[in-house]
Amino acid sequence: MKNVKSVNTSVFSLEGNPSIKTTTPLSLQHLLAMIVGNVLPALVLSGALGLSTEQQILLVQASMFIAAIGTLLQTYPILGVGSRLPMIVGVSFAYIPTILAIGNGYGIGAIFGSQLVGGLVAYVVGIFIKKIRKYFPPMVAGTVVFTIGLSLYKVAVNYMAGGFQPTDPRYGGLVYWGIALLTLVVVLVCNMFGKGYIKLAAILIGIVVGYIASLFAGIVSFESIASASWFNLPSIMPFKLEFPSAAVISMVIMYVVNAVQAVGDLSGTTVGGMDREATDEELSGGIKGNGITSVIGSIIGGLPTATYSQNVGIVAMTKVVSLKVFRLTAVMILIAGFIPKFGAFMTSIPQCVIGGATISVFAQITMSGMKLIVQDELSVRNTTIVGLGVALGMGITQIPAQGLQYLPEWFTMVFASSPVILATLVVFVLNIVLPKKTLVEEQAEREAMESK
């Protein structure tokens, strides 16, 4: 009698091939965790730049396409590009301060032009990640994340007030604030008291409740949904690529930092889901994959991407690592990208709802940065580096324009339009220049001074 080779159907194995019945709810769980965060950057950017409804829909659709492409590339590596790990990729909040500054300064074409260069740089970083990783300890990466969170608060609170539009006399009205706060409360209740899918989909549930309240308040427009088609392919070069040097420098810095941060997500997936460290090949492939994804995104109108930490958390919690689960999630995301009415529906969500939902996300980004910072010792040296990075980064964006009037335009664009870039450079340089001193060594110095 011939031996029948057993089929691996385990969801806890990377090579597992579970049934569709088993895979579908697990894939849906990852979809719920990422879908809102994936489209919100496009909505935030559209609102800030005053883009047309058609352009908004295009950006949302492209966000879905690029997330699907990025996730498939991570699970189906090609020529060393991709980690072959259970990762979800999507449009990243981390880039919002930078792309808003570039968009307001040079237009949306400059965002995608600088993104293309940034993606190529990320690919190169992926090749050399083992050598440069030591220059970005948790303290440096944490300060960057912390500053990103702080810089986004103004965006979220402005949206809660209705999102400033010169033609909207209701900006700052009680209807906007009330719906925004209702959305925030629902998100908090679901997140703090909910379990299972309720907790996982807290932001989605908050947006649904806020959207329903907006319908009753009469602040939702369905015009874009009615005019949108049911099926469409992604557009190639929907925006003319432009490459202003200041925008390119800003984006390159962000991509280098993001590439190093991706090490944390990739390692978190292997440690949390497979009880092992990520290999150099997995780290390199993952970062190169995200770089190539962003290059493709710049061509079809998809904003900068990153590995999704919330989905890493799900992997660590459930131990489900079967690549089939994540490939099915990518297919679900891709299908949504083919349907313009989905994008149109997302653009119909009032900005006060988006503000109420995202302010908790931005708060979590800030606190994630703080968690990274405290992984290193809080010595006088380290707290000085972190404090100066945040102070200079946040401070330079809050002074009147006249305070920078004698500086070159490129300097203002790179260092003063977004707090993230300056904060990154300050902590990066100071961490290299200032002598390393532990808490024990600093205490010994003080004792030596007292004994004299």
Residues spanned by the domain of 231: 20-379
User: Residue 305 belongs to what H/E stretch?
Assistant: strand 305-307
Q: Within a domain: residue 404?
A: no
Number of other residues whose CB lies within 10 A of the CB of residue 236: 8
| Burial category of 68 from C-beta neighbours within 10 Å (exposed 0-12, middle 13-18, buried 19 and up) | buried
What contacts 24+ positions apart, CB below 8 Å, involve 230-235? Answer: 230/339, 230/340, 230/341, 231/338, 231/339, 231/340, 232/61, 232/338, 232/339, 232/340, 233/338, 234/61, 234/62, 234/65, 234/300, 234/301, 234/337, 235/58, 235/62, 235/300, 235/301
Q: Within a domain: residue 194?
A: yes
Q: Within a domain: residue 392?
A: no
| Number of domains making up the chain | 1
Q: Which residues of the chain have pLDDT under 70?
A: 1-6, 29, 32-33, 164-167, 196-197, 200-201, 224, 227-228, 264, 309-310, 313-314, 317-318, 343, 347, 414, 417, 452
Q: Within 13 Å of residue 38, how many CA atoms lie on the same side as its CB?
A: 31
Sign of CA dihedral 393, 147, 304, 15: positive
How many whole angstroms separate alpha carbon 86 and alpha carbon 75?
A: 7
pLDDT (0 to 100) of residue 67: 94
pLDDT (0 to 100) of residue 1: 46
Helix-helix angle 323-337:20-49, to 10 degrees: 40
pLDDT (0 to 100) of residue 292: 95
- pTM over the 0.75 mark: no
| Burial category of 271 from C-beta neighbours within 10 Å (exposed 0-12, middle 13-18, buried 19 and up) | middle
Closest CA to 314 of 30, 83, 23: 30
Q: Within a domain: residue 410?
A: no
Q: Within a domain: residue 208?
A: yes
pLDDT (0 to 100) of residue 407: 76
Q: Within a domain: residue 359?
A: yes
Determine if residue 311 is left, alpha or beta; phi over 0 gives left, psi from -120 to 50 gives alpha, anything else beta: alpha
Q: Which residue's structure tokens are 């940034």?
A: 118
Q: What is the 3-state secondary structure (H, E, C) of 282-301?
A: HHHHHHHHHHHHHHHHHHHC
pLDDT (0 to 100) of residue 438: 76
Q: Within a domain: residue 415?
A: no
Q: Within a domain: residue 436?
A: no
Q: Which residue's structure tokens are 């925008």?
A: 247
How many whole angstroms separate alpha carbon 258 and alpha carbon 112?
A: 17
What angle is formed at CA 419 by the lines to CA 417 and CA 424, rounded to 5 degrees?
A: 125
